[in-house]
Chains A and B, each alone.
Chain A
Amino acid sequence: MPQDVRPSSTAGRAGDFPPFRQRHLISIADLAQHEIVDLLDRAERMIAVSRQERKSLPTLSGKTQINLFFEPSTRTQSSFEIAGKRLGALVVNMSVKTSSVSKGETLIDTAATLNAMRPDVLVVRHAAAGAVELLSQKVGCSVVNAGDGAHEHPTQALLDALTIRNHKGTLAGLTVAICGDIANSRVARSNLLLLGALNVRTRVIAPRTLLPAGIESLASEVYTDMEKGLEGADVVMMLRLQHERASGKMIPSVREYYRFYGLDAARLRHAKPDAIVMHPGPMNRGVEIDPAIADGERSVITDQVEMGVAVRMAVLDALLPPRNEQ
């Protein structure tokens, strides 16, 4: 881990990194491989910043970041908030309650209103796929997608990749098994795109009802048998099951789901002995994962949270370079 970051210099930000060419971060699909690696390398430096006593860099000082969450999410919102504040930005949180009829109206109206306040970056989460992209077309600042429906959650994929890289030393050549509700998961989509771009072997494991059409084109391998899918995996990534929504339709019951797709010690033995266990949170202990595994020594779930802040610092820093400041 790099230890050479000086807290009050710009070296931590600009350093040796070339300018980041994207204005927004809407989806992993928009990023070239070198841009993904660039963001991971930038995030690497931010880990060190967060581990210092003075956890700050001045790179976003004078800038305004608005966290606009149409869907509640305590952990993602606070992660972005801490990231912005550690870089010196003025961070404003807005949670927008939406009624089902006026969702879109609120979106466009809110975009226009917020845009007039001249923010430098909007961090947006919305329940509808494509909503963040739509909003990015209506504002004059950078936009970061903090999750749009079942489409993408790019910073989650970046923090997952950073976590894996730090535990395994590298990404290329690894086998990552993603298990659970693939059909409704933006985390799965972003991860499949990112890992695919970095030559990681990806597997998805789920009952057929939770596998979306065409998934075989997105993942290297598709499994409905969890034990087979875990065989030889370096990383086991569990997804949250929206069991209130799925029960009775996509799966008969939580207990049957756990019986066949829950991660417990016996199943985990099918993966490599040094395999790590990940989860984007919030976890349903006893639904998709045995508490003993979730809190056990193979779990890197709290590391993911730490990497989350670093990745979001890196993204904000990359998207908001200083403009010709003398």
Chain B
Amino acid sequence: MMRPLLIENARIVDPASGTDQPGAVLVEDGRIGDLALGGPVGVPDGAEILDAGGHVLAPGLIDMRVFVGEPGKEYRETLASAGAAAVAGGVTSFVMMPDTAPAVDDGALVDFLIRRAEAQSPARILPAAAITRGLAGREITEFGLLKEAGAVCLTDGAQSIQSSALLRGAMAYAANFDMPFVHHVADAALVGDGVMNEGLFATVLGLKGIPREAETIPLARDLQLAALTGVRYHAAQVSTGGSVALLAAAKSGNGKVTAGVSINNLCLNENDVGRYRTYFKLNPPLRTEEDRRAVVEGLRSGAIDTIHSDHDPQDSEVKRQPFAEASNGAIGLETLLAAALRLVHSGDVDLLTVLRAMTSRPAAILGLDTGRIARGAPADLILVDLDYPWQVTERDLRSRSRNTSFEGARMQGKVLRTIVSGRTVFTHEE
């Protein structure tokens, strides 16, 4: 039996209810026992009292797109190291992509991951199940059994299904089980040998480009098939202004469509590739500054619902390569919140909108009871100093891999304490 915990003198920011005001929260039995905005809160005997010092108390973040190396590539990341990185970044739950070896395409693996994560990870790990067996894009998996085993959504992870007919069938079958259908959109033939955004910058570097249409064409197809099948469709991540326009139009007629964006596409652009810096080789690629502004605007307008880290640990062996031959991906769990706060500090997006995209929106899409500060909800909370200055250094990161796209970046804002199910799992040390 844990002692009750009273967090007082906090600035309570709860996007689900639109709350942003001083108050106190009482945590009991792993849940939020009481919430007092302005007024007094009853303090049970023996409660531990934490003075929040006026800092922001928000729901723990829910990251919808995280790659973990376990099972199969434990040298890149384990459930334990990913969990430690997550809570250090204020992420209390994350959806784990099925891109493991073997791929998560079977109920037994989902069950294994849930049990192992409970034992190993301080953060909640929510397994996503593959849409197709072996992520091969040919045969659909057992959606019903995977859901029963505990998979929170369906996705082929970094893979994009090319066959429209297969997608239609998969979406219809997912609708049958009311499973969120999360799809990374990329036209494989248009991507071709492309390794970065198509344009002058790629031309100067002598690198093959990926046109924006490699994303917008399959997205337009997906949105039509989503309407046809009635599936709960989530475009995993978009990177272009054209995609934002497509989403805005689709959402006006179909309430079941949602979309995510990687923090990288919100904060970085193709110029960050510099001279072949492979930590900025990402999928989707970093686009132009114009596209970056368009996705930020999409977040503001609601065309884009969620922000995720796209945490993708890669070892130096596959990153210290000529750009075209290097693997995609960057880690991001520990820098997600601080990077997202850049949008707040710059005045582009308000705090509630940014936090909503990492708390109540993913919770609603995935049907979770977390992501909010409400009586009875699980006590997944973060205490955040919005202005704390720090610099990202790869050796301080908890991930097993070092491929951060924010190496050396100056950040403003840090998690002081992370609470999962009422238990403090991370405390910032000076």
From A103, A107, A130, A189, contact of B276 by CB (8 A): A130
From B207, B209, B322, contact of A134 by CB (8 A): B322
> How far apart sit A212 and B202, CA to CA, in the bound complex (Å)?
9
> How far apart sit A218 and B206, CA to CA, in the bound complex (Å)?
13
> How far apart sit A149 and B204, CA to CA, in the bound complex (Å)?
12
Question: For residue B207, which residue of chain A has the nearest CB?
Answer: A129
> How far apart sit A60 and B317, CA to CA, in the bound complex (Å)?
36
Interface size (A, Cβ < 8 Å)? 26
The answer, yes or no, to whether B200 is at the interface (CB within 8 Å) is: yes
Q: Which chain B residues border A311 with CB–CB below 8 Å? A: none
User: Which of A107, A148, A149, A186 has the most chain B CB atoms closer than 10 A to its own CB?
Assistant: A149
B276 to chain A: closest CB distance in Å? 3
The answer, yes or no, to whether A169 is at the interface (CB within 8 Å) is: no
Q: Which chain B residues border A215 with CB–CB below 8 Å? A: 203
Contact A217-B275, Cβ < 8 Å, known A128-B322, A130-B323, A134-B322: no
From A103, A126, A150, A213, contact of B200 by CB (8 A): A213
Contact A213-B276, Cβ < 8 Å, known A103-B325, A149-B324: no
> How far apart sit A133 and B199, CA to CA, in the bound complex (Å)?
21
Q: Hey, what's the 0/1 contact readout for B219-243 against A, CB within 8 Å counting as 1? A: 0000000000000000000000000
- Say yes or no: B325 contacts A104, CB within 8 Å: yes
Contact A128-B317, Cβ < 8 Å, known A149-B206, A189-B204, A213-B209: no
Q: Hey, what's the 0/1 contact readout for B266-279 against A, CB within 8 Å counting as 1? A: 00000000011000
- Say yes or no: A126 contacts B322, CB within 8 Å: yes
The answer, yes or no, to whether A240 is at the interface (CB within 8 Å) is: no
- Say yes or no: B325 contacts A189, CB within 8 Å: no
The answer, yes or no, to whether A105 is at the interface (CB within 8 Å) is: yes
Q: Which chain B residues border A82 with CB–CB below 8 Å? A: none
B317 to chain A: closest CB distance in Å? 7
Question: For residue B277, which residue of chain A has the nearest CB?
Answer: A130
The answer, yes or no, to whether B201 is at the interface (CB within 8 Å) is: yes
A102 to chain B: closest CB distance in Å? 10
Interface size (B, Cβ < 8 Å)? 22
Contact A108-B200, Cβ < 8 Å, known A129-B207, A130-B275, A213-B209: no
The A-B contact count (CB < 8 A) is 78
A157 to chain B: closest CB distance in Å? 13
User: Which of A105, A128, A129, A130 has the most chain B CB atoms closer than 10 A to its own CB?
Assistant: A130
- Say yes or no: B323 contacts A129, CB within 8 Å: yes
The answer, yes or no, to whether B43 is at the interface (CB within 8 Å) is: no
Q: Hey, what's the 0/1 contact readout for A96-120 against B, CB within 8 Å counting as 1? A: 0000000111011000000000000
The answer, yes or no, to whether B47 is at the interface (CB within 8 Å) is: no
Contact A104-B326, Cβ < 8 Å, known A129-B276, A130-B276, A133-B275: yes
From B201, B204, B209, B322, contact of A103 by CB (8 A): B322
- Say yes or no: A212 contacts B323, CB within 8 Å: no
The answer, yes or no, to whether B345 is at the interface (CB within 8 Å) is: no
Contact A105-B275, Cβ < 8 Å, known A128-B324, A130-B205, A130-B323: no
Question: For residue B324, which residue of chain A has the nearest CB?
Answer: A128
- Say yes or no: A104 contacts B321, CB within 8 Å: yes
Q: Hey, what's the 0/1 contact readout for A225-244 against B, CB within 8 Å counting as 1? A: 00000000000000000000
A202 to chain B: closest CB distance in Å? 14
The answer, yes or no, to whether A86 is at the interface (CB within 8 Å) is: no
Q: List 20 extra interface pairs beyond A129-B322, A189-B204, CB under 8 A.
A: A128-B323, A129-B276, A129-B323, A130-B323, A133-B276, A134-B276, A134-B321, A149-B206, A149-B322, A150-B206, A151-B205, A151-B206, A152-B206, A212-B202, A212-B209, A213-B198, A213-B209, A214-B199, A215-B203, A218-B203
Between A and B, 18 residue pairs with Cβ closer than 8 Å are A104-B325, A128-B324, A129-B205, A129-B206, A129-B322, A129-B324, A130-B275, A130-B324, A134-B276, A134-B321, A150-B206, A151-B205, A152-B206, A186-B206, A212-B202, A213-B200, A213-B203, A215-B203
Residues of A within 8 A of B (CB): 29, 103-105, 107-108, 126, 128-131, 133-134, 148-152, 186, 189, 212-215, 217-218
